[in-house]
Amino acid sequence: MNSVRLSDGRTLTYDEHGDPNGRPVFYFHGFPSCRVEAEVLDHAATRRSVRLIAIDRPGFGGSDFQEDRSIPDWPSDVKELAEQLGIQRFAVLGVSGGGPYVAACAAKIPELLDKAAIVSGWAPADKPAATSGLPWLSRATLAFWRLVPGIVHLTIWWLALNARLFPRLVLRLSQRRLPPSDLQIVERPVMKAMRLRALREVFRRGSRGPAHELVLFARPWRFRVEDIPIEVLLWHGDSDTVVPISMGRYMAGAIPKCRATYRPNEGHHMAFDMMDEVLGALVA
């Protein structure tokens, strides 16, 4: 684990994978996860001559919690990290819960980006077209979370406790609704080991960071994806039971210059099987 001290005094932690002399790509992990997620992408990053820099968001893994942060605050952290690493231009890649942060960077710091990519990414939950693929109970839960964020904090505190005491059980329960294509991926020994390490690491600083982020996902993002001026590459599987394809279709329609690829019979975790393709597109 590497770390930098940001200008406001917070610590931001990150890991590097792939080719240290390659094209820099900042990797934004899913939810609830952390920088550990990217360790299984080392081979693809090396093959594509990519310097993959996986960052813990505030309150995740080793990164300090940030009071009152919003999704569009993230580009400032990324910009400052890039400056401290001596990187002038870079690409950004977000998987699942990392998707909103790719959109934020594309909207707020487009002048620094070579390319941007979202795989199986979350979309604004206040847009009915985006959440139409979610079960009605999930839509109702998101609406409730927007109004009563304290319930989210209690829920994530309970998840963090169980992740510490019964991590394997938590992972098994998280797989209950996954389609066969996802189960085939997450049951691989290397993936099981990574997911276990990530689950243990994500709550290193407690549950405040992940809980705060879940509230952010339920609320408006405080920026418009319609204002993104650069091209965004997007991949989404039509069998995704975690982030429904309605979210991918919403983002593809709302971002002016979005190049979308929809994968038939693929689920939420397809990114780990197609990272060679994604990284290849980012450095092409």
The answer to whether 71 and 223 have CB atoms below 8 angstroms apart is yes
150: pLDDT strictly greater than 90:
no
Would you state the pLDDT for residue 145? 85
Kindly report, residue by residue over 220-272, the tens digit of the pLDDT.
Answer: 999 999 999 999 999 999 999 999 999 999 999 999 999 999 999 999 999 99
- Average pLDDT over the chain, rounded to whole? 95
What is the 8-class DSSP label of residue 95?
A: E
Would you state the pLDDT for residue 258? 97
- State the Cα–Cα distance between residues 261 and 263, nearest whole angstrom: 6
Q: Within its chain, how far is the Cα of 74 from the centroid?
A: 12
Locate tokens 């985006």: which residue? 130
* Domain extent listing, the chain: 2-283
Bridge-based pairing of strands 232-237 and 258-263 is parallel
Would you state the pLDDT for residue 254? 97
Q: Residue 8 — φ and ψ, nearest 5°? A: -90, 5
24: three-class secondary structure by DSSP: strand
Locate tokens 């079960």: which residue? 135
149: pLDDT strictly greater than 90:
no
Kindly report, residue by residue over 79-103, the tens digit of the pLDDT.
Answer: 999 999 999 999 999 999 999 999 9
Task: Name the CATH topology of 2-283.
Answer: Rossmann fold (3.40.50)
Would you state the pLDDT for residue 143? 86
The answer to whether 107 and 224 have CB atoms below 8 angstroms apart is yes
Q: Which two tokens stand for residue 146?
A: 């927007």
144 pLDDT band, cuts 50/70/90, is confident
Across the range 38-46, mean pLDDT stands at 96
- State the Cα–Cα distance between residues 213 and 149, nearest whole angstrom: 11
Q: Give me the helices (H) in 166-244, please.
A: 167-174, 180-186, 189-202, 208-218
